[in-house]
Amino acid sequence: MLELQDILAARGRIRNYIQHTPLLRLSALDKLAGFEVYVKPENLQSTGSFKLRGASNKLLSLSEDEKKRGVIAASSGNHAQGVAAAAARLGVDALIVMPKDAPALKVAGTKALGAKVVMHGLLSSEREARMSELAAEQGRVIVHPYADELVKAGQGTAALEILEDEPKISAIVAPVGGGGLISGLATAAKGQKPSLTMVGVEPTGASRYKQSRLAGQPLTIETAHTIADGTRGNYAAPANFPLIEERVDELVDVEDEMLQAAIYAYAKLAKLVVEPSGALSLAALLSGRLGFLRGQKVCLVISGGNLDFTLYAKWLAEGEKNLALIMNH
């Protein structure tokens, strides 16, 4: 199982390849939240999401022979761009399997970084199956978005920065998609501060880890419907489920309407462009799901800011109305 030393090693490896994103104070939400609100904006990474951390750690760990063979990944967009950017910097050929409904901005961004793209399926299980087939056919090294220990270790470096910038943070709230980010963050945070509370947030339409926790085993759900494309997976990864059960204290879920309100709140209050998946933590705050953290210093992790701006305009309009209802309640 992933341990703190793996994440410390990753930090040393990727230090010159990623941004140490700032820890922002969002005091405008303190009264509503009942705790001191901090934000970790991973949307400010050069590729627009935290995924650059894990991709860089994985690719920097490859042997020369593996680099020559090239890499392959499956992603709805942010991991795709992280792998493409890391591969371009290291001169490694990259192939990415993306879902047919991937946001056009993410597809274009991946191609602009030099990676080849194959569009396949809609669900995470479908594109990962195709990734495995192509890896076997072409001899490429798989850079799994959330079930690779080196990738998870890279993602966890964000928690080291959070506690370095504000050691008194007592809780971290982060989005949960495949489970790689929350696994890395929880391992790093609790490895340095065992008393810290770790909270994961999923969209209600794709809450496979929350459902799996209730069932006591990793589940595959029938459908995954949410505007949060980065978390639109349909199964809980067996590689991450035990770690999440051990190190993530709470799992909550939020409706898409709350995601829209959170997207608008970030734009209005913090001047940050945040995609739906990245807004999950704030959506949990706005929905009242974090009341058990009252009186603490809490960090909300923004996982990314890559989105379709036509949809963004729609979400802002809906979000403004939804946030007004919340603030006036």
**Is residue 69 domain-shared with residue 180, that is, in the same domain?**
no
Beta bridge partners of 301: 40
46 vs 326, more confident: 46
Helix, coil or strand: residue 239 = coil
Q: Is residue 175 a contact partner of residue 231, using CB atoms and an 8 Å limit? A: yes
pLDDT in tens, 251-269: 999 999 999 999 999 999 9
**Is residue 171 domain-shared with residue 126, that is, in the same domain?**
no
**Is residue 190 domain-shared with residue 279, that is, in the same domain?**
yes
The angle subtended at Cα 9 by Cα 5 and Cα 13, nearest 5°, is 170
**Is residue 180 domain-shared with residue 319, that is, in the same domain?**
yes
Residue 307 pLDDT exceeds 80: yes
Q: Give residue 196's region: left, alpha or beta (phi > 0; psi -120 to 50).
A: beta
Domain with 187 in it: what CATH number? 3.40.50.1100
Give residue 193's pLDDT: 98
Q: Report the C-alpha gap between 107 and 247 in whole angstroms.
A: 34
Give residue 16's pLDDT: 97
Residue 327 pLDDT exceeds 90: no
Listed residues 98, 116, 142: the one ending a domain: 142
- Closest by alpha carbon to 36, among 200, 181, 157, 168? 168
Domain carrying residue 137? 51-142
Give residue 222's pLDDT: 83
pTM: 0.95
**Is residue 206 domain-shared with residue 129, that is, in the same domain?**
no
**Is residue 312 domain-shared with residue 205, that is, in the same domain?**
yes
105 vs 179, more confident: 179
Listed residues 91, 125, 142: the one ending a domain: 142
Residue 79 pLDDT exceeds 90: yes
Beta bridge partners of 253: 202
170 vs 99, more confident: 170
Q: Report the C-alpha gap between 237 and 212 in whole angstroms.
A: 10
pLDDT in tens, 182-219: 999 999 999 999 999 999 999 999 999 999 999 999 99
Can you tell me the mean pLDDT for 151-171?
Answer: 98
Residue 102 pLDDT exceeds 90: no
**Is residue 122 domain-shared with residue 205, that is, in the same domain?**
no
**Is residue 11 domain-shared with residue 34, that is, in the same domain?**
yes
pLDDT classification of 224: cutoffs 50, 70, 90: confident
**Is residue 68 domain-shared with residue 174, that is, in the same domain?**
no
Give residue 8's pLDDT: 98
Residue 233 pLDDT exceeds 90: no
b/e per residue, 52-75, with b = 16+ CB within 10 A? Answer: bbbbbbbbbbbeeeebebbbbbbb
Q: Which residue type sits at 279?
A: A
Q: Give residue 77's region: left, alpha or beta (phi > 0; psi -120 to 50).
A: left
Among all residues, which ones are annotated catalytic? 51, 303
pLDDT classification of 137: cutoffs 50, 70, 90: very high
Looking at the 3D structure of the chain, how many domains does it have?
2
% the chain with pLDDT above 90: 89
Can you tell me the mean pLDDT for 50-56?
Answer: 98
Listed residues 119, 142, 165: the one ending a domain: 142
Give residue 268's pLDDT: 96
